[in-house]
Structure 1
Amino acid sequence: MQSPTANRLRPPFYLDDSLVGDIVIQPSYTRHIDAGTFFLHKDVLSRASPVLARLISGITSVSVDEPTTVWKLLIPIFYSPKVPIDFVTNLKGSDGLLDIDLLRTLLDAGRKYEAPSISASVADALMHEPAVVAKKAVGVYALACAFDCPDLARFAARHSLSTKLSFNFSPTEPSLEYMARMSDYHRLLDHRRRCADAARETVHSSAPQIDQPYTGSNNISSSTHFLRSNASKRLWNAITILSGSNMNTISYSTHLTTKCYDQGYSAHLHQSWWIALEDLHRDLEYQPTEDLVRSPSFTRKLLDGIMRCSGPMDASHANAVEVAEILIETVYVCLKEAIDKCKGQDIRCTYCR
């Protein structure tokens, strides 16, 4: 018989090849298309799992409860801590989205066989695929809590912020059916509240300001909704570079005035723009994510504000469009920083048993 080292890396090194390995694994045939027999190595399985070590001791063949699809995911992790490039792809369903049922079965197998490498490798693989996790973030968060994966729980919680959630726990909702404990859901909601508070504070000043009525002119109107000092500083720096001015007060377009003074920075917006920030401030309560700023709806509100201003399409309007782009990126960065700060403070390992 050929040595395990010589065979374990030859694809497919485990399927329907009786010349490979010294133990036959026969998964349950839950579906006729799921049939398959695996020829593996006892030494590899025994090192990966004490349960499997006892199960395969003294025999050459064993039947297992998990289907072939799960064992095709388990085996590469048993043989190497680095999962294959297509690992996450194989976790997707026919709809192209992450198959949460398959993920749960896989993690369940890792717990059953007392193989911590399974949950660790799965968590690491998913954390390198944020776009995949984001589409099923609540389900991934629930499983991460249930299977003791605190880093993945933090990661999934962060990427769940774009999902609207009910403040009433309802196990019948598809996205929440994997939530093992109500306390996990409540912690997720608490985290979202803190992220929402931090994000909304970025585009809202607690200092009282008097709103000036909009008269249709191009003058700047003050509002309680303008950027906080850190965001205003970024914006002031950007406008300074753009305008070539180093004055403390810069009105680069009719839509924006930035100020630098002893106590810090401020950015006062044209009424048409602070109405857009007002809407953003409201939306962040339910979707506390920086992606809202780059959404087509927010961009459209800024551009519509420019078009509604009186006067011809002159250089002032062109400047306003340019400043709108800077405003979007400035607010995006500042929102992301504010939300990311909540990650270490609010998502803790106490989520998991």
Structure 2
Amino acid sequence: MIYLDYQATTPLAPEARAAMLPWLAEDGFANPHSPHKAGRGAAAAVAAARTRIVAADPALANGKLWFTSGATEAVNWAIQATLVDAPATRRGIVTIATEHACTLDTAAWAARHGADVTILPVGPDGLIDLTQAAAAIGDRTAIVSAMLVNNEIGVIQPLAELAAIARAAGALFLCDAAQAYGRVPLPDADLIALSAHKIHGPKGIGALYVRDGIRLGALLHGGGQEGGIRSGTLSPMLCAGFGAAATVTYDRRDTDAAHVMELAQRFRAALPDWTVNGSTDHRYPGNLSLRRDGVDAAGLISRLRNVAFSAGSACASGSGRPSHVLRAIGLSDAHARNTIRLGFGRYTTSDEIDTAAALIAAAA
């Protein structure tokens, strides 16, 4: 199987697997919130993992990192807690039409509970208009939420500028960095959502970074773990895996980036009659959203059983609805059905790219 669905999830790094295995041993079951020796050992592993994740990007240096079940929970927590605690004069959320469903659905929840929601459109390149964003963000905006690297088309939004606009208006800025952490330098944000399984770590764990000086209310209530604001027993195994994956990602960042760029160029050269969706300049190269007139993406995926790729977000797979991201950049439903997403990275080889490209071209 040639695996080309890195935006859905990434293969587990050997280093992450090795860090997790001790916590599956007979004596590795302790609760990290217990005061006895075994519990303290588990707590130390959690603390070490937290330190490793923060060390992987300078943008995480001036705040606290709280573990969550994934980036979806982190985004929900950031938006819901911000709006619940916001004054009555600041009940607005501004986000982007191409955001992940965890952001758009949380914004819809907020609208049902009285928030003013503004969804910024994007151009055919998938990028927002900063002038339009500045006009939408004002003194009633509580939070601005935006994805750094889009999960479907790989476009990189101008988040440094967007964060500055939000700060100038007195709003908090949330960066969904699930697809960016370890791949693209993170912006100076107030809140940052992370996911372990997008950087060769385990599924079921992510984190929310909260900048110093920001007080965030709880989303989950109970035992008061994670500084009293995120209840639930942490898994030392998952935390250790996340921490190890973060360290490897940091250590290999230049090597991985060069490898991914070479693979992207190889793919494009092998599939010259396919069109790239979104900006060709402002994008993460390990995500290629391509379309070709007359191709049925679903049929292509079904036909090529030895190549794993997708038509878009794994979260929306099987819904039968055209991608909201592709619609937002102006594509017709027909063009959306002509689109495939190819995701690749650290463990993808040049030979796999060549073989997959030939198979895709022949099947198309």
Higher Rg: 1
When normalised by structure 2's length, the TM-score is 0.25
More strand by proportion, 1 or 2? 2
More helix by proportion, 1 or 2? 1
Higher relative contact order structure (alpha carbons within 8 Å, sequence separation ≥ 6): 2
